[in-house]
Amino acid sequence: MELLYLGIVVFLMVLAVFDLMVGVSNDAVNFLNSAVGAKAAKFKTVLFIAAVGVFIGASLSNGMMDIARHGIYQPQYFYFSEIMCILLAVMLTDVVLLDVFNSMGMPTSTTVSMVFELLGGTFALALIKVSGGSSHSLGELINTDKALSVIMGIFLSVAIAFFFGMLVQWLARLIFTFNYKKRMKYSIALFGGVAATSIVYFMLIKGLKDSTFMTAETKAWVHANTLWLVGGMFVCFTLVMQVLHWLRVNVFRVVVLMGTFALALAFAGNDLVNFIGVPLAGYSSFMDFTANGAGASPDGYLMTSLLGPAKTPLYFLIGAGIIMVYSLYTSKKAHNVIKTSVDLSRQDEGEENFGTSPIARTLVRMSFNLSNGLAKVMPEGSKRWINNRFRNDEAILADGAAFDLVRASVNLVLAGLLIAIGTSLKLPLSTTYVTFMVAMGTSLADRAWGRDSAVYRITGVLSVIGGWFITAGAAFTISFIVASIVYYGGTAAILILVALAVVTLVRSQVLFRRRKDKQQESESLQKLLHTTDNAEVLRLLRQHTREEWAKVLEFTLENFERTVTAFSYENLRGLRKVAGAVKFEKQLIKQMRRTGTLATARLDNPTVLSKGLYHYQGNDFAGDLVYSIGRLCEPCLEHIDNHFKPLTAIQKGEFGEAAQQVVELLKECKQLIESNRYESLPAEMAKASGLVELLSRLKREELRRLKNHAGSTKVSMVYLTMIQEAQNVVTYSINLMKVSRKFQALP
């Protein structure tokens, strides 16, 4: 039996390694978002600074918070076997849940996930104990106050961070404007002094408060001399920043890199418990049981020892720091999460990752009406002065930056201050929530959410916020179920759940790579959205258009063939796959059209007049192809799902030959677009014309059979729809080729 629990402890440690990796992937957005978005330095430099902060924070951390030992459950009432059951359920749930959010590129809170996983697992075991006749009530077994404080923390973090982010950024922009280099003579020293003092104060209060060298005497001294420390640092930093400005050093860049280091240090020092706290609680429980539970059964040894504080060995902390740094450098999912936050706060318009929603449209409409109302009562002079301070066409952006250094500085300084203040006041502010919502508030104040992008950005923000609540619910529910299965299923259930977790993680990684390959922005598009030269924009747009239209043709031929085959063989699963693929492809078409609009807007007027129409027409024909596949699949799916009569042998034979010719035509069209050579287009047009005539003849013959009451009417109606959509696919494909030839033609 002892060997089984040793295996569980070893597995918990293995899961801790994975949890550290997926946790860093998610929380990296907290401290990398601003520096990466503003291009404060080279990406490798930003990563290095963050990595140093992460390693120092992890190494100096005490590595353990009471929440992992007795924050949710009351260990003096639980036996060793029950505690191990809870901890195993928490880690199995945590690794998989965080990996899912990382794959979706959605930042979430590792603290919330751990708290609610502990709550779910504890609730399951508590119910089992109470139902088994335990003398303790649920209220005695579970500490619900902590979970409630986390829920309140969600609302507090969202509202406070967003409001102050918006307010402080608005004031900062009034002071510095977008052309900030003209207004930095003396104000930059004060700003730099306040910013640097805030960052250091944040590190003392939040980042290093639980570090190994922060003894009770040191904390008391810092607390007693806070005003003197803050005042002295402010004077020193103000002088240093003024000198740096005279030496032509960009103070905003210094502030951003300092803030990145501080947030990385605080993340590693305080959030480390979210990743290794539970496994170390399991290790501590096992060591206590083996040392003091001689002769006792795992089901009869109470874990009172977990009530005491734990001292984590230094090698655990250093090892955790190394793993976190490695993950920071290598995780593609971390980059995916960062991209979500940066794109939502981007200053200019670009490719939007989210669609629209009714709530977002309502909020935009209400905000627009409120803005118009305020504009009517505000004096004209004040409006002109404010508008002059917010001329974003003067923004000083690094090459490829999403926003400027002023906003990046405000993001980091304000996030650090709010977290430090919340910590000192014992408010449960989440690092993830604060940093994300500050970034959203500053982007709104900077007028980055214009009328053409606000509805997409708000939808994205609402999606992320919704994900935070989903995290809590999913963590509680899954951990509850897993803990119950482990308790009743024993060793067999543990082995099955471990295997299932491993398979889920591997499958998630494979699907993530496939999805990224499918959704990966081409280099031509990224260059296109950051190029101002008209000739280069047109060249890149042509290249990107060929890539996109070729993908649409590839989708069309694959799913046309799949639909016809699945319907002929009554393959319901195949038709459902096509329906799902069409739904996803429709979103990509909308995205392609938005991107096309942004790209053509970068062309000069003569080029837009001569080439723009062909580009819009091509996108329309590409969309028509996708929608045609949808119209083809829908009646086929409904027909098979209802178990109606299949196609007759004659219908299968006739349409099978025609369908094969359609597929061959689509392959030829795809090759024409990819090669950008249209010499054989007249021949393909002739083939298409003959194919349309063939399909028309099939339609006439089927109508004749229908008139003579030969066969099933339901089958005939679906068959006629298939013929019609096949004709549409042929027509749209040839039209796409014609438009593509005109769009690609020089000049």
Please count the other Cβ atoms lying within 10 Å of the Cβ belonging to residue 469.
13
| Overall average pLDDT of the 127-138 stretch | 83
- Return the pLDDT at 575: 94
Summarised one tens digit per residue, pLDDT across range 698-708 is: 999 988 888 88
Instruction: Please check the confidence at residue 128 and state whether its pLDDT lies above 80.
Output: yes
- Return the pLDDT at 515: 59
Q: Can you give the pTM of this predicted structure?
A: 0.71
Instruction: Please check the confidence at residue 80 and state whether its pLDDT lies above 90.
Output: no
Percentages of the chain per state (helix, strand, coil), in multiples of 5: 80, 0, 20
Residues 24/325, Cβ–Cβ less than 8 Å:
no
- Return the pLDDT at 294: 67
Cα–Cα distance measured from residue 444 to residue 347, given in angstroms and rounded to the nearest whole number: 9
Confidence of residue 319 (pLDDT cuts 50, 70, 90): confident
**Residue found by looking up tokens 């106050």 in the block:** 145
Q: How far is CA 112 from the centre of its chain?
A: 17
Higher pLDDT, residue 117 or 1: 117
Instruction: Please check the confidence at residue 427 and state whether its pLDDT lies above 70.
Output: no
Summarised one tens digit per residue, pLDDT across range 324-362 is: 888 878 777 666 667 777 777 777 665 566 666 787 778
Cα–Cα distance measured from residue 546 to residue 674, given in angstroms and rounded to the nearest whole number: 6
Q: Rg of the chain's alpha carbons, rounded to an integer?
A: 31
Q: What is the mean pLDDT of the chain?
A: 82
Closest by CA to 205, choosing from 115, 109, 159, 270, is 270
Instruction: Please check the confidence at residue 747 and state whether its pLDDT lies above 80.
Output: no
Cα–Cα distance measured from residue 414 to residue 428, given in angstroms and rounded to the nearest whole number: 17
Token output for 25: 């992937």
Confidence of residue 200 (pLDDT cuts 50, 70, 90): confident
Transcribe 194-233 into DSSP letters. HHHHHHHHHIIIIISTTBTT--HHHHHHHHHTHHHHHHHH
Residues 6+ apart with CB under 8 A from 218: none
Instruction: Please check the confidence at residue 510 and state whether its pLDDT lies above 60.
Output: yes
Cα–Cα distance measured from residue 409 to residue 188, given in angstroms and rounded to the nearest whole number: 12
Please count the other Cβ atoms lying within 10 Å of the Cβ belonging to residue 308.
13
Summarised one tens digit per residue, pLDDT across range 134-187 is: 777 888 788 777 667 766 766 777 788 888 988 888 888 888 888 888 777 768
Instruction: Please check the confidence at residue 422 and state whether its pLDDT lies above 80.
Output: no
Cα–Cα distance measured from residue 94 to residue 100, given in angstroms and rounded to the nearest whole number: 10
Cα–Cα distance measured from residue 570 to residue 359, given in angstroms and rounded to the nearest whole number: 41
Instruction: Please check the confidence at residue 209 and state whether its pLDDT lies above 70.
Output: no
Confidence of residue 46 (pLDDT cuts 50, 70, 90): confident
Domain boundaries, the chain: 2-514, 523-744
Instruction: Please check the confidence at residue 90 and state whether its pLDDT lies above 60.
Output: yes
What separation in angstroms does the CA of 238 have from each of 205, 232, 242? 21, 10, 6
The CATH number, out of the four listed (1.20.58.220, 3.30.1370.60, 3.10.310.30, 1.10.150.20), of the domain defined by the range 523-744? 1.20.58.220
Closest by CA to 307, choosing from 65, 63, 74, is 74
Sign of torsion, CA 690 691 693 698? positive
Residue 313 belongs to what H/E stretch?
none
- Return the pLDDT at 445: 84
| Overall average pLDDT of the 18-40 stretch | 79
Transcribe 489-533 into DSSP letters. HHHHHHHHHHHHHHHHHHHHHHHHHHHHHHHPPPHHHHHHTT---
Please count the other Cβ atoms lying within 10 Å of the Cβ belonging to residue 403.
26
Confidence of residue 64 (pLDDT cuts 50, 70, 90): very low
Cα–Cα distance measured from residue 224 to residue 197, given in angstroms and rounded to the nearest whole number: 17
Conformational region of residue 89, where left means phi above 0, alpha means psi within -120 to 50, and beta covers everything else: alpha
Q: Which of 395-409, 501-515, 558-572 has the lowest mean pLDDT?
A: 501-515
Most confident of 9-18, 35-44, 681-690: 681-690
- Return the pLDDT at 577: 94
Residues 6+ apart with CB under 8 A from 288: 303, 305, 306
Angle, helices 713-744/649-675, rounded to nearest 10 degrees: 10
Higher pLDDT, residue 204 or 742: 742
Confidence of residue 208 (pLDDT cuts 50, 70, 90): low
Residues 108/432, Cβ–Cβ less than 8 Å:
yes
Instruction: Please check the confidence at residue 203 and state whether its pLDDT lies above 80.
Output: no
Burial 287-300 (b: 16+ CB within 10 A, else e): ebbeeebeeeebee
- Return the pLDDT at 329: 80
Summarised one tens digit per residue, pLDDT across range 438-462 is: 888 888 888 877 766 778 778 878 8
DSSP state, 353?
S
| Overall average pLDDT of the 627-655 stretch | 91
